[in-house]
Chains A and B, each alone.
Chain A
Amino acid sequence: MTSIALERHPVAPPEPVAADRPPRLAWRAPAASIGWGLLGAAVTIALWQLVAMRAPALPTPAEGFGELARLLRSPFANHGPNDKGVGLQLVTSLGRVLSGFGLAAAVGIPVGLAIGASRRAWQAVNPVVQILRPVSPLAWFPIWLMVWKDAGHASISVILITALWPIVINTAAGAAAVPRDHRNVAKVFRFDRRTYLRHVLLPNALPSIVTGLRLSMGVAWMVIVAVEMLSGGSGIGFFVWDSYNASNLAAVVAAIVLIGGVGVVLDFAFLRLAKRVAIEEVVA
Chain B
Amino acid sequence: MTLRIEGLHKSFTGRRSSTQHVLRGVDLEVARGEFVSLIGHSGCGKSTLLGIVAGLTAADRGRVLVDGVAVQGPGPERAMVFQNYSLLPRLSLLANVREAVRSARPDRTKAWADGMVERYLTAVGLWEHREKRPGQVSGGMAQRAAVARAFAVGPKLLLLDEPFGALDALTRARLQQQLIELWGNESDTETVLMVTHGIDEAILLADRIVVMANPPQPSIREVIDVGLARPRDRASVVDQPAFRTIQERLLAVLGEDAVAA
Contacts and interface: CB of A to CB of B under 8 A. Distances in A.
Interface of A: 181-182, 184-185, 187-192, 195, 199-200, 203, 280-284
Contacts of B82: 181, 184-185
B86 A184 contact: yes
A200 B96 CA distance: 11
A188 B99 contact: no
Nearest to A183: B56
A199 B99 contact: yes
Nearest to B97: A189
29 contacts: A181-B82, A181-B86, A184-B56, A184-B80, A184-B82, A185-B82, A185-B86, A187-B73, A187-B74, A188-B54, A188-B56, A188-B78, A189-B103, A189-B149, A190-B75, A190-B103, A191-B99, A191-B103, A199-B90, A199-B91, A203-B88, A203-B90, A282-B135, A283-B135, A283-B136, A284-B89, A284-B90, A284-B133, A284-B134
B133 A200 contact: no
Contacts of B106: 192
Contact of B100 (A189, A192, A283): A189
Contacts, number: 65
Contacts of B73: 187
Nearest to A200: B88
A207 to B, nearest CB: 12
If over half of A's interface residues share one DSSP class (helix, strand or loop), that class is named, otherwise mixed; here it is helix
If over half of B's interface residues share one DSSP class (helix, strand or loop), that class is named, otherwise mixed; here it is loop
B217 interface: no
Interface residues of B, number: 30
B146 to A, nearest CB: 9
A282 B135 CA distance: 8
Given A189-B99, A200-B88, 9 more contacts: A181-B84, A182-B86, A184-B86, A185-B100, A188-B104, A190-B74, A203-B90, A283-B133, A283-B135
A8 B73 CA distance: 71
A195 B103 contact: yes
A190 B88 contact: no
A282 B84 CA distance: 17
A181 B162 CA distance: 14
Interface in B40-94: 54-56, 73-76, 78-80, 82, 84, 86-91
